[in-house]
Amino acid sequence: MTPVLDIYPVTYHDNPLEYFQALRQRPDAVLLDSGRPEAPGGRFDIMSSDPLDILEVAADGIATTRNGQVTSQHPFEAQQQLLEQLPALSADSPCRDCELPFVGGLIGYWGYELGRHLEPVGNKARAVTSLPLARIGLYDWALIQDHDQCKSWLVASAERRRQVEQWLGTKRPTGKFALTSEFSANLTQAEYQQRFEAVKRYIHAGDCYQINLAQRFSAHYEGDLWQAYQYLRQATPTPFAGFMAWERQSDRCQQAILSLSPERFIEACDGQVEARPIKGTRPRGSTPDEDRAMAETLTTSIKDRAENVMIVDLLRNDLGRVCRPGSVSVPQLCGLESYANVHHLVSVIRGQLIAGLSPLQLLEAAFPGGSITGAPKVRAMQIIDELEPDQRSAYCGSLGYIDVRGHMDTSIAIRTLVADAGQLHLWGGGGLVADSDANEEYAETLTKIRHLMDALISGPEQHCKQ
């Protein structure tokens, strides 16, 4: 007999840390974190664990589930097959028409290099992590917090409810975390400059209009990555954050993703689609007057607005491949949004998904997000593969969910750290256009992530002061 899902109210907390503290050591525990109460724009926290199955996409693009029931050379078709293993909701199910974003389905990440199996990109960059190209779990329950209504719910069958209540009653102390080396870059400033000049040549030759060029920083660490995530969250709360950690089955090596992303990739609900690309960044000022001046320089910058508009056009094209003709619109162009450490220009693109197409087909059509490739997308990705020495792994991919009703929300995995084999990897990048300045762009790659490095270095001291 198919378990019946129900919605049970539970105690509300103003952030998800208290609940996830008890769940984090469960198998394949996942947290999609809205960053509330500090982050603007966030609403729901979603957390779960103990999935029915896990699907991983290997470097060759072949997707396989842990129980072996799904194996496919087409990774998105395999994900759809996995999602369909959950039974459809009955007409009288309380979950069917509820406002909760997730009532069972897929949660996980899609790495940037998954795009190599969708477009003719190439394969020159070397892999620096052993993470799969994507890792997605099939979850039949979730604990959800709604910070607008200040309410929390458990979506689960009666049997799962009893299990989860036992798990939540178990106190799991957080261990210590420390970096054991400084962050080191994979490019010197001179090497970045060389690649910057190569991008300029491609732009002037007409190959592209914009390229997102990134560099990687790595450090060794020891201890509890959940503690590291808490340091990062305190330093930079964001509305599309996430934490997921697991052990590689072959050798029990811990792997994890710690994402503090401010950027939505694509949301889909009842056929309505929304993307929110970020292009244009300035640091926050140290005084109110300086902060306002920084914001004004961003909103009046012709270069930054041009970058943003290029990506809006790219995403209009991507969404147009799967949205009803005439339905794609841009209700917000280059709007200012301010976060703990930076100001951003954010645009909003909306559309209506063509009847009969699934959210996973939408994700495939637009993946990876144009805001972190450049334009035109395929040529930009080819140039990135040529110029960046290392693969991006989960960075510039996506974290998110697709539930059994067809609801989907995904992030662009910027401000994202990847843990593997005792190292933390962190990338910083930015969009380059014809009038970009090399020194300014190099500095921007550091501005975007320096606060994350500092949080991991000084986190233990901050923790002791509280």
Q: Is residue 84 flagged as an active site residue?
A: no
Which member of 56, 263, 267, 441 is catalytic?
A: 263
Q: Is residue 263 flagged as an active site residue?
A: yes
**Per-residue confidence in pLDDT tens, the chain, 466 aa:** 567 889 999 999 988 999 999 999 999 999 999 988 777 778 999 999 999 999 999 999 999 998 877 777 899 999 999 999 998 888 778 888 888 999 999 999 999 999 999 988 988 999 999 999 999 999 999 999 999 999 999 999 999 999 999 999 887 888 999 999 999 999 999 999 999 999 999 999 999 999 999 999 999 999 999 999 999 999 988 999 999 999 876 667 799 999 999 999 999 999 999 999 888 888 888 889 899 999 999 998 888 888 888 889 999 999 999 999 999 999 999 989 887 777 888 899 999 999 999 999 999 999 999 999 999 999 999 999 999 999 999 999 999 999 999 999 999 999 999 999 999 999 999 999 998 999 999 998 998 899 999 999 987 555 433 3
Is the bond preceding 120 in cis, omega lying within 30 degrees of 0? no
Which DSSP state fits 405? T
d(CA 81, CA 373): 29
d(CA 425, CA 192): 18
User: What pLDDT score does 463 carry?
Assistant: 42
Collect all residues with Cβ–Cβ distance below 8 Å to 178 and sequence separation of at least 6: 221, 222, 223, 460
Query: Domains along the chain?
Result: 6-465 (3.60.120.10)
Select from 126, 138, 137, 135 the least CA-distant residue to 57: 135
Which member of 267, 279, 307, 388 is catalytic?
A: 279
